[in-house]
């Protein structure tokens, strides 16, 4: 199975999946990762701030990555329900 490659013309080539770790590694060999564009970094930081603000209102303690994943999923559902 070939890796799924996404090339929209606007963004650098992205390898989204591959059948094996070796295939993904080979497909990603020539992709150079850089810093996020400033606008993307600002949006990311704002979204993280909104998430942690929402999290402070929840009555949960995060003890493992799985719990963080569950809470993040709940937060996404909350945003969807709020129309965001």
pLDDT band at 68, cuts 50/70/90? confident
Q: What is the pTM for the complete model shown?
A: 0.50
d(CA 61, CA 68): 9
- φ, ψ for residue 14, nearest 5 deg: -125, 135
- Confidence (pLDDT) at 17: 65
Is residue 36 a contact partner of residue 44, using CB atoms and an 8 Å limit?
yes
Is residue 15 a contact partner of residue 27, using CB atoms and an 8 Å limit?
yes
């Amino acid at each position: 199975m070939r890796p799924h490659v996404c090339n929209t013309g606007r963004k650098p080539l992205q390898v989204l999946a591959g059948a094996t770790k070796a295939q993904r590694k080979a497909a990603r060999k020539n992709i150079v990762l850089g810093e996020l564009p400033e606008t993307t970094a600002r949006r990311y930081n704002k979204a993280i701030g909104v998430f942690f603000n929402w999290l402070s209102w929840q009555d949960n303690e995060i003890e493992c990555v799985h719990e963080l994943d569950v809470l993040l999923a709940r937060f996404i559902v909350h945003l969807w329900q709020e129309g965001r």
